[in-house]
Amino acid sequence: MSKQLNIPIGDISIGKKKRFEISGKKITVYHLQDGWFALDDECTHKGASLVQGVIIDDHIIECPRHGARFDIKTGKVLALPATHPLKTYKVLVEGDEVVVMIEDDECCGGSGAQDGCCGGQCGCGKNGH
């Protein structure tokens, strides 16, 4: 079953981010120069909140705890100590709202992912893994 998070387009300025919680999931929404992106808020290394991190070069988020870096557009790990990517969410702009689509059964996209799902083999602890 899917849910959606609706955010007024003016709530997040370009170059900024904001954390939301829906159905127990903490998601950070980023407004970058070239669009809107949504990722899990917790660093896959030790669970620090990425909303407290710094945006670098308009597409990288740096974890405030240990300096892991992730591509905001893809969730891909760019710098250790994190080794698992962040879960990304589909984002649409509809009129004056940003809509984040959240699928309850979505895979985390962790290591070992094939065709978009790791089959629970990543060991991340998310979504029953």
Q: Model-level pTM?
A: 0.80
On whether residue 127 sits in a domain, the answer given is: no
Spatial neighbors of 49 by CB under 8 A, at least 6 apart, are 19, 26, 41, 42, 43, 64
Show the domain range for 20: 1-101
On whether residue 109 sits in a domain, the answer given is: no
Domain at 44, CATH number: 2.102.10.10
Q: What is the pLDDT of residues 7-36, one digit of tens each?
A: 999 999 999 999 999 888 999 999 999 999
On whether residue 123 sits in a domain, the answer given is: no
Spatial neighbors of 50 by CB under 8 A, at least 6 apart, are 28, 39, 41, 42, 43, 61, 63, 64, 70, 86
Residue 38: other Cβ atoms inside 10 A: 26
CA–CA distance from 4 to each of 14, 78, 103 (Å)?
22, 28, 8
The total number of structural domains in the chain stands at 1
Q: What is the pLDDT of residues 40-67, one digit of tens each?
A: 999 999 999 999 999 999 999 999 999 9
